[in-house]
């Protein structure tokens, strides 16, 4: 698990031509399906796409890497080859708790195990995406998981003394992510 979780970085540049089959996407959704759900309500529904024109429409609705001010997101050729849009069905209930977090982590770990990678994106033009995908009103867009064959290196760094958690890219385009240390997040043991 530790190896898989370490490999599971938020990748934002991909080999866009690397195909991701619908069966792969269904396999990932199945992992989410088998994951815990608050009160076992299972309110989540998933829209999947590995289709270039649909992907382009989804891409249009996403904001990428807020801390990288001089980067608008992956350029053509480095975009995700697939997406899983995670929605919450209000016919089931109005509180989705943290089900979408559980589901997204299962999806990403499955993707990494199969040699892919992805990124959870919550900064989404939900109105536009709903129209593009013709989603029913009862389905609330919770987040989008972008998927593909990663084309970038992501390094975990220790957080600096200034406590800055903003990720950044070095001149070799390696993406650096400052992480708090274990002693800083365990309250009662050091």
DSSP-assigned states of every residue in 68-118: -TT--SPPTTSS-SEEEEEEEETTT-S--TTHHHHHHHHHHHHHHHTT-EE
Which of 62, 82, 139, 146 forms a contact with a copy of itself (CB under 8 A)?
139
Contact 75, 13 (CB under 8 A): no
Please report, as residue ranges, which positions from 24 to 63 form the binding site for a copy of itself (by CB under 8 A). 26-27, 29-31, 33-36, 38-42, 44-49
Q: Which is nearer to a copy of itself, 32 or 149 (CB)?
A: 32
Q: CA dist 133 to 90, 120, 126, Å?
A: 17, 19, 10
Among residues 128, 155, 166, 170, the one that binds a copy of itself under rule CB under 8 A: 166
**Which of 10, 8, 15 lies closest to 176 in space, CA to CA?**
10
Using CB under 8 A, which of 109, 125, 153, 169 touches a copy of itself?
Answer: 109
Binding mask 64-103 for a copy of itself (x = CB under 8 A): --xx-------------------x---------xxxxxxx
CA 121 vs CA 23, 96, 138, 161: distances in Å: 22, 17, 21, 28
To a copy of itself, the closest distance from the beta carbon of 104 in angstroms equals 7
At residue 56, the 3 state secondary structure works out as helix
Residue 179 vs residues 3, 69, 77, 152: alpha-carbon distances, Å: 16, 20, 30, 18
Q: Residue 152 carries which DSSP code?
A: S
Decide whether 44 or 147 has the Cβ nearer to a copy of itself: 44
Its sign, for the CA torsion 118, 119, 125, 126, is positive
11: contact with a copy of itself by CB under 8 A: no
Interface with a copy of itself, residue 153, by CB under 8 A: no
| 5 touches a copy of itself by CB under 8 A | yes
Could you list the residues that contact a copy of itself (CB under 8 A)? 1-2, 4-6, 8, 10, 22, 26-27, 29-31, 33-36, 38-42, 44-49, 66-67, 87, 97-106, 108-110, 113, 120, 122, 133, 135, 139, 142-143, 156, 165-167, 177-180, 182, 185-189
């Amino acid at each position: 698990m530790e190896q898989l979780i370490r490999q599971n970085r938020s990748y934002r540049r991909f080999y866009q031509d690397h195909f991701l089959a619908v069966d792969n996407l269904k396999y990932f959704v199945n992992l989410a399906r088998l994951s815990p759900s608050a009160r076992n309500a299972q309110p989540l529904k998933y829209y999947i796409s590995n289709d270039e024109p649909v992907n382009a429409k989804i891409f249009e609705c996403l904001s990428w890497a807020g801390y990288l001010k001089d980067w608008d997101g992956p350029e053509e050729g480095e975009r995700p080859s697939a997406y899983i849009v995670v929605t919450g069905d209000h016919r089931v209930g109005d509180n989705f708790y943290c089900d979408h977090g559980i589901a997204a982590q299962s999806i990403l770990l499955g993707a990494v195990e199969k040699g892919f990678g992805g990124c959870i994106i919550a900064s989404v033009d939900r109105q536009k995406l709903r129209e593009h995908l013709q989603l029913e009103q009862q389905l609330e867009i919770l987040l989008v998981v972008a998927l593909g064959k990663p084309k970038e290196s992501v390094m975990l760094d220790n957080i600096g003394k200034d406590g800055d958690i903003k990720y950044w890219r070095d001149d070799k385009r390696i993406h650096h992510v400052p992480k708090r240390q274990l002693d800083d997040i365990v309250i009662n043991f050091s």
